[in-house]
Chain A
Amino acid sequence: DADVTQTPRNRITKTGKRIMLECSQTKGHDRMYWYRQDPGLGLRLIYYSFDVKDINKGEISDGYSVSRQAQAKFSLSLESAIPNQTALYFCATSEGRVGYNEKLFFGSGTQLSVL
């Protein structure tokens, strides 16, 4: 079984709909992250969390929200989806220890299309 699991793998939705992407991990890591990947732009950080109920904005947090109610789960919500939020979304985890916290473990991604 995958250590970092994202659901769903694919989602098509309409403009204005509320969408939630789920991430769960069995690695026991404290730190969790949501990234967005767009062709030619690499990976950009949306939100990150260092512990349960700890939430921090990343580079491109506008239009998104997150929830960290348990160590193993970190969900990403789009309150009112818009077409330019069409992208590949990745959840990642890392340990909190110095020398390890930069080593991210990624899920397989969720391809979101907003029509």
Chain B
Amino acid sequence: GQQLNQSPQSMFIQEGEDVSMNCTSSSIFNTWLWYKQDPGEGPVLLIALYKAGELTSNGRLTAQFGITRKDSFLNISASIPSDVGIYFCAGLTGTASKLTFGTGTRLQVTL
């Protein structure tokens, strides 16, 4: 099946720093989504991207749909302690309603 590689696998940053993470695939996707999973909870949708080159923001979060349609990027500016969690990318191709999830990036924020 399709595989999505996320990097980095984990990050330790200080409060106030900016964060960048990405997701790459060997296949083309029509839709990219970014989810965040808080400790002890299920993932929650942060941003959805539907067009190659699209850049979308949600507060301090900005995500981009790569031009090649094989990658996506998520940036978090001025990190705060509540940004801690696991961030998952997910890709969708064709008309299927089955997402392919990435392996996740675990973010830790120190004071």
Contacts and interface: CB of A to CB of B under 8 A. Distances in A.
Given A40-B103, A48-B97, A94-B97, A109 B41 contact: yes
Contacts of B97: 31, 48, 50, 94, 101-102
Contacts, number: 56
A108 B41 contact: yes
B41 A104 contact: no
Contacts of B4: 42
Contact of B44 (A31, A106, A109): A106
Contacts of B90: 102
A58 interface: yes
Counting contact residues on chain B (CB < 8 A from A), the size range is 20 to 34
24 contacts: A4-B42, A31-B97, A40-B103, A42-B6, A42-B103, A43-B88, A45-B98, A45-B99, A48-B97, A48-B98, A50-B97, A58-B98, A59-B1, A90-B43, A92-B42, A102-B33, A102-B97, A102-B99, A103-B33, A104-B43, A105-B45, A106-B42, A108-B40, A109-B42
Closest 7 CB pairs of A and B: A106-B42, A43-B101, A42-B101, A42-B103, A101-B97, A102-B92, A106-B43
Interface of B: 1, 4, 6, 9, 31, 33, 35, 40-45, 48, 50, 88, 90, 92, 97-99, 101-104
